Structures are given as structure tokens and as C-alpha cells.
Amino acid sequence: MFEYAPAPESRDIVDIRPSYGLFINGEWVEPQGEERHKTVNPATEEVLAEVAWAGEADVDRAVQAAAKAFPVWSAMPGAERAKYLFRIARIIQERARELAVLETLDNGKPIRESRDVDLPLVAAHFFYYAGWADKLSYAGFGPDPRPLGVAGQVIPWNFPLLMLAWKIAPALACGNTVVLKPAETTPLTALAFAEICRQADLPPGVVNIVTGAGGTGAALVNHPGVDKVAFTGSTEVGRLIARSLAGTRKKLTLELGGKAANIVFEDAPLDQAVEGIVNGIFFNQGHVCCAGSRLLVQESVAADLLEALKRRLGTLRLGDPLDKNTDIGAINSAEQLAKIRELSEAGEAEGAERWSPACSIPDRGYWFPPTLFTGVAQSHRIAREEIFGPVLSVLTFRTPAEAVEKANNTPYGLSAGVWTEKGSRMLWMASRLRAGVVWSNTFNRFDPTSPFGGYKESGYGREGGRHGLEAYLAV
């Protein structure tokens, strides 16, 4: 195979301040406490900036700002709110390159993904929900659907700006105001978004951004002034939040973990399926809640498929996330790397066979090579637990019924993929798979018009599409 010359994207386009405050009521304010934390580039361990750590008093201030802005924002005609959302979408497009570089620096994902997937989807979400703002009466939720009030939103680190867009765009379109907490390890694009709100002249208090860690998130979701909680993250924390909100008047949506099956039948186009498997689990280093982390392949084609898959994995390039040729970037944090290592070691200890292509790992930063496990039993931890890293567990099946049985044998139910040339089989499978999203001959496809969400321990509520409005309306 030939070598690629390095093609790094310039980072000069981003201007990272040494230190950030909180964005409350349209202004940058200092937190009441002294505590701050550093956000690092996971590919180099270089400190990028210091970020404020919001305590309960700061969260209270942000919720009050959002509550004060609510009567004005919610009373504004939908067509006027839409103008702000369209303006935000246009500014995101104009600043897309800068935001993509910033996301890659703070998160570790390849620039090709932040530039070609995350950022276009972020803008598309704002455009899409801008279009709904003046049509809520026709959305199927009654003639005059009302917003809920203040939305407290907590998001994870795997798609920082995209998760912000999934949360903020529908909330604002419906007339709610927002307090959002980004993840501790990836706050920078949310802070850049605060600047975009100012650039768009969004009225003060409509969007507030509070940075911090789990405690800040807990203070936000438990604040009595919050009317709606939207959370994306681990099932463990989702469970905690559901417990603490039970019996309150707050409306809750949870988008949690997954352990998706990517199912390949013998009649599938195998080369295409290999690309779909790679995209399913190695996209974003496998830090994807709907990642196709369990490959179920029909026994008759398992050997051929695995050979082709291994050949393809040998061509993936791991390294500098800012390089436009990079396929696999850095793992987002030392903690996540430790978790991936621990589960991979458990896979070996339980008897599965581990394989990775030859690939050199940079000296600094957090890295994990693309890995696959064969000989995996359904009882193995690597077949049951979310690894949230570039690790694929391979299982086989003989009949469609067995494929359904194995695919559904998980506490999760977020997504699944089916590869077959037969439409009838596809529909047969889709109607039996207990997953919120079933992809057909593709994987990890997202679109703002399409609802996304889970069953079972993957959470409840839908984001995206017309369904995504429901979470932010009193219906």
C-alpha cells in the first residue's frame, strides 16, 4: 500500500482563550467558586484552556436568567423565533471550518468527521427546526401547543456540538429557554456556540451555558426552576436522573447507551457490508451510542467476511486527528481509554480471540487500535456491555430467527443494522428487532428529519424530526 503525505488542517483558524467564564443572561460571568478545570487535547495531552466550574449558586443564576427570558421568547411569534434560528444556522455554516477544528482539538475525532459529518448536521438541525417554529400548530400536537418553560440539558463528550444542536434547536423552536451543561472534557464548542448566540443577537437568557462536571449536571437537573430535562449519556447516570425526577412535574427524555447488532446475511453485498461494519464501529473511535458494536454474521459467509474485514482494517490510518487522511483519532480521555482497555482485557480473559491490524500508536495522547474479537459468546462482557471504543465483537448465526434472538438479547435497544438484498427479509427483521432505529444496508446515518431514540435501557423519548418537538411542548 502506498503512503499518504501528511495533510494537516491548520489550527490557526481557531482562537482559544486561556480561560472561560460561564455564559449567563447573554454575558460572560465569573463563577462564584474558585474551582476551574483544564480541558486538554486528547491527541497530545496539551492543555487547551481553563474552564469555569459552575456550582449550585451559578446554576441557580443561569436558571433564573432562562426563566426571566421565557415570557418574552415564548410570546414571540414563531416566525420571529425562526429568524434567530436561521441566523444561528447560517453563522454555524460560515464558521464551520473553525468549529470543526475546535471540535477536533477538544474531542480527538478526525477532522474529516467533524468537518463532513458533525458540522453539516449541526447546521442542518438548526435549519430544520427553524422551519418548524411557525408551524407548531400543524405538527399534530393540537391547535395551540405551548412550550414547557426552562429546559435543563446535559450532554456528553462524543458529539459535543451536534448533541448541543439536537437539544437546543427544538427547544428554542418550540419557545422554551435553555440552560445547557456540556461534558467536562469537551466544553469548547459549546462556549463557541455562546459567542454565536451573541453574534445572532439572541435575546439574553434564552440560551445559557454552564460548564462543570457531574455535580453541575446534577444541580441543573434537580433545580426546582427547571421544567424539562433532556439528558444524553450513560445509562447509569440516566437512571440516577430518572430516580431523582420521579414524582416531580418535570418532563424527562433520556438518550442512553447501546449495544447495537449489525447483522449481515449471506445474500448481502459483502464489500458494501464491510464498509458499513467499519463505519458502524470505527466511526468516531466507536464513541457512538448507536455504534454497531456487535457484528452478527451468517455462518456461511463468516470466514469470507472476516478476511475482507481484516484486510480493510489494515488500511485504516490512526493518528493526528487534524490530518485530513486520518480515519481513527484519539480516545477522548484517559478514563475512557482505561475503560476500553479493561473491557478488552476481560474479552481475552473470558476466552474470545483478539485481533488488531499492525498500527503504530503515537507516543503522547490517548489511543486504542481498531480491534476485533472473534469467538465471542453472548455471555461475554464484550458482548453485553457498552465499550464505547473501537472494539468490535463478532458473533455468528444460522437462521434469521436466531439473528433476531441474538440481536435482541441485550438490555439496550437503540439501533440495529441489517444487510441483505431481500426487501422482504429486511422488513421481517425490522419488525422484530427491538431497537429505536433500524438501518437497512447502511449504518450510522443521521438526518434532522428522522426521529432517534431508544427502548429498554437505551432510554425514552425521541430527538429529531416532528417527534422531537413533542419533548418540548405541553402535549
Binding stretches for ligand NDP (CB under 6 A): 154-158, 181, 183-184, 213-214, 217-218, 221, 232-234, 237, 240-241, 255-257, 289, 336, 339, 386, 388
Please, what is the minimum distance in Å from the beta carbon of residue 156 to ligand NDP? 3
The residue type found at 221 is V
Please, what is the minimum distance in Å from the beta carbon of residue 223 to ligand NDP? 11
**Of 47 and 72, which has the nearer Cβ to ligand NDP?**
47
Q: Coil, helix or strand for 219?
A: helix
Q: Coil, helix or strand for 168?
A: helix
Please, what is the minimum distance in Å from the beta carbon of residue 37 to ligand NDP? 9
Question: Which residues make Cβ contacts (< 8 Å) with residue 130, sequence separation at least 6?
Answer: 82, 83, 85, 86, 89, 169, 173
Nearest Cα to Cα of residue 297 among 327, 274, 322: 274
**Of 286 and 319, which has the nearer Cβ to ligand NDP?**
286
**Of 91 and 288, which has the nearer Cβ to ligand NDP?**
288
Asked if residues 464 and 447 have their Cβ atoms less than 8 Å apart, the reply is yes
Nearest Cα to Cα of residue 321 among 211, 186, 223, 125: 186
**Of 160 and 417, which has the nearer Cβ to ligand NDP?**
160
Would you list the DSSP string of 175-213? Answer: T-EEEEE--TT--HHHHHHHHHHHHTTPPTTSEEE----
Please, what is the minimum distance in Å from the beta carbon of residue 240 to ligand NDP? 5
Please, what is the minimum distance in Å from the beta carbon of residue 292 to ligand NDP? 14
Please, what is the minimum distance in Å from the beta carbon of residue 169 to ligand NDP? 17
Spot the catalytic one: 113, 289, 386, 463: 289
Closest residue to ligand NDP: CB criterion: 217
* Distance (Å, whole) CA 317 – CA 300: 30
* Distance (Å, whole) CA 83 – CA 67: 22
**Upper half-sphere CA count for residue 420 (Cβ side, 13 Å):** 20
For Cα atoms 344, 348, 354, give the angle at the middle one, nearest 5 degrees: 75
Spot the catalytic one: 113, 184, 255, 457: 255
Question: Which residues make Cβ contacts (< 8 Å) with residue 94, sequence separation at least 6?
Answer: none
The residue type found at 292 is G
**Of 85 and 438, which has the nearer Cβ to ligand NDP?**
438
**Of 190 and 305, which has the nearer Cβ to ligand NDP?**
190
Dihedral of alpha carbons 394, 397, 403, 408, sign: negative
Beta bridge partners of 232: 255
**Of 232 and 396, which has the nearer Cβ to ligand NDP?**
232
Please, what is the minimum distance in Å from the beta carbon of residue 51 to ligand NDP? 10
Chain Cα centroid distance, residue 35: 27
The residue type found at 256 is L
Check if 255 is active-site: yes
* Distance (Å, whole) CA 191 – CA 189: 5
Residues labelled catalytic: 255, 289
